[in-house]
């Protein structure tokens, strides 16, 4: 199971949203894995990533990337967010060649991830699907808001903050990029995609009225 599994959206706006991450297994390959995890993240960070982070330290919008690298621990979970499938393929190909001995998880549209793996010369081990949300669905925000908030798998990006960002954009207080990067800061792991968020916020600011937000 991965906390990046439940991202909501349309096939069109999910085409630029991929997460590659790694963690080790306690009692199996955790001890002494710090170096492998650091190299894993350094390889990913060489590409045009939208975000990068370690749950122990934070994401690139909180601390400098070099600080993230230097503070990786055996128990870290390291992540990078991509917006281009070709870049995903190249990163996976390099990870295969590095053979670091740690597991690799890729989140994205299944067919696209499958193609990226195939082009990188990799066979998928497992495929996981989200079966949706159960419970009192009336308490959920609108689907358009969920498309933004579910990019943080631990639910640290509040729907109310998203609404405030839409208001700020409509009133000219900040632009879409600034708003998207602000939304990325509470997602400590670094799996929030500010590039996709920027596009979603722009669309919402154009169609929502102030009394809706």
Any idea what the CATH number is for the domain that residue 22 is in? 3.30.70
Q: Is residue 96 domain-shared with residue 170, that is, in the same domain?
A: no
Would residue 9 count as lying in a domain?
Answer: no
Tell me which residue range forms the domain holding 26.
18-119
Q: Is residue 65 domain-shared with residue 150, that is, in the same domain?
A: no
pLDDT grade for 213, boundaries at 50, 70 and 90: low
- Which residue, of 119, 145, 169, is where some domain finishes? 119
| Contact present, 47 and 82 (Cβ < 8 Å) | yes
* Cα–Cα separations (whole angstroms), residue 79 to 106, 136, 210: 10, 31, 35
pLDDT grade for 2, boundaries at 50, 70 and 90: confident
Nearest to 65 by CA among 55, 75, 54: 54
Q: What is the DSSP string of 64-116?
A: -HHHHHHT--TT-EEEEEES-HHHHHHHHHHHHHH--SS--EEES-HHHHHHH
**DSSP helix/strand/coil, 120:** coil
The pTM (predicted TM-score) of the whole model is: 0.94
Q: Is residue 104 domain-shared with residue 150, that is, in the same domain?
A: no
Would residue 103 count as lying in a domain?
Answer: yes
Average pLDDT of the residues in 175-182: 98
Would residue 128 count as lying in a domain?
Answer: no
Would residue 8 count as lying in a domain?
Answer: no
| Contact present, 52 and 38 (Cβ < 8 Å) | no
Would residue 184 count as lying in a domain?
Answer: yes
What pLDDT digit, counting tens, does each position of 107-161 carry? 999 999 999 999 999 998 899 988 888 999 999 999 999 999 999 999 999 999 9
Would residue 126 count as lying in a domain?
Answer: no
What pLDDT digit, counting tens, does each position of 72-90 carry? 999 999 999 999 999 999 9
- Which residue, of 69, 85, 119, is where some domain finishes? 119
Q: Is residue 98 domain-shared with residue 141, that is, in the same domain?
A: no
Overall number of domains in the chain: 2
- The Cα 76–Cα 58 span in angstroms is 11
Would residue 7 count as lying in a domain?
Answer: no
Residue 55 in this model has a pLDDT that exceeds 80: yes
């Amino acid at each position: 199971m991965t906390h990046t599994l439940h991202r909501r959206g349309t096939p069109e706006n999910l085409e630029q949203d991929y997460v590659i991450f790694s963690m080790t297994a306690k009692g199996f390959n955790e001890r002494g894995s710090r170096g492998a995890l650091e190299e894993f993240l350094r390889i990913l960070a060489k590409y045009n990533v939208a975000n990068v982070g370690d749950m122990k330290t934070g994401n690139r919008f909180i601390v400098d990337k070099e600080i993230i690298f230097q503070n990786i621990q055996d128990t870290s979970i390291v992540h990078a967010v991509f917006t281009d499938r070709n870049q995903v393929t190249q990163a996976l190909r390099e990870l295969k060649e590095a053979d670091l001995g740690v597991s690799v998880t890729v989140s994205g549209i299944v067919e696209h991830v499958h193609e990226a793996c195939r082009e990188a010369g990799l066979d998928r081990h497992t495929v996981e699907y989200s079966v949706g949300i159960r419970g009192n669905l009336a308490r959920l925000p609108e689907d358009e808001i969920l498309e933004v908030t579910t990019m943080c798998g631990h639910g640290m990006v509040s729907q109310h903050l998203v609404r405030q960002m839409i208001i700020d954009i409509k009133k000219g207080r900040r632009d879409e990029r600034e708003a998207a990067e602000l939304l990325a800061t509470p997602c400590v792991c670094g799996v929030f995609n500010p590039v996709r968020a920027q596009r979603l916020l722009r669309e919402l600011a154009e169609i929502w009225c102030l009394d809706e937000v």
